[in-house]
Amino acid sequence: MKRTILSLAVVAAIVFTSCKSETKKETETATETTKDLALANTSFGVRGNCGMCKSTIEKAASSVEGVANATWDKNKKTIDVAFNSDKTNEMAIHKAIAASGYDTDKVSGNEDAYKNLPGCCQYDHEMELGK
């Protein structure tokens, strides 16, 4: 009988110790997730014409490490970007978009990349940019 009680006590101790460990891991994960949510936001002008432009511009911005979200507005000619400022900065995003052939309000698009864009995406370089 003593053996049974002792065995149950040992099993109970192992179970309770295991539960505390899992709770600690969940807390650590929640802290890391909250840390990642502290994002910087920016908005700037990007020239473009159509849905294909939207796809290319957003893909270029999202390719920058640390960018969490990028949404280009075709009508306003602006992109809204959320990014981790510990991993990147606004100028890196401008440069990535420009490398894909699109002008931003701070960096001119790469001419070779621009020439390789589909005809519908070859925008007027004088087009007004949104702010």
Task: Give the amino acid at 15.
Answer: V
CATH 3.30.70.100 fits 40-121, yes or no: yes
pLDDT at residue 28 in the model:
47
Give the position of tokens 């005809």: 119
For the beta carbon of residue 49, count every other beta carbon within 10 angstroms. 18
pLDDT digits (tens, 9 = 90+) for 25-50: 444 444 444 454 579 999 999 999 99
What does pTM read for this prediction? 0.71
